[in-house]
Amino acid sequence: VQLQASGGGLVQAGGSLRLSCAASGGSFRGLATAWFRQAPGKEREFVAGVTRSGGGTSYADSVKGRFAISRDNRKNTVILQMNSLNHEDTAVYYCAADPSVIMSAMALAAQYDYWGQGTLVTVSS
């Protein structure tokens, strides 16, 4: 499965962005999918994830109430809707997927076999 992340860009604080992760060579059905991000000089961190069934979601505390992850099986994409963005959300955002990840391990980057190339989100103050 190849993943392609898109939708990043420059946005003012308080604004919104919508990231997309498209899959080719396979389907998101049966894949746990997550978004991670990595800011300059920091380690990659979990942002949000959706379970293999698509029925469960998980969020980092820092984005709860502001970000929403969803999966569109018809379009074979996973969306990260980001609202109320602030400077601390500036990072390269990566989508990741794996058929074996369960909810309790969703935040662990090492569990994912498939990764997209990343899309840069810059939030200006």
Per-residue pLDDT of the chain (125 residues; tens, 9 = 90+): 999 999 999 999 999 999 999 999 999 999 999 999 999 999 999 999 999 999 999 999 999 999 999 999 999 999 999 999 999 999 999 999 999 999 999 999 999 999 999 999 999 98
Q: What is the helix, strand, coil percentage profile of the chain, to 5?
A: 5, 50, 45
Residue 125: its pLDDT value, please?
85
Token pair of 53 as six digits:
């069934």
Residue 40: its pLDDT value, please?
92
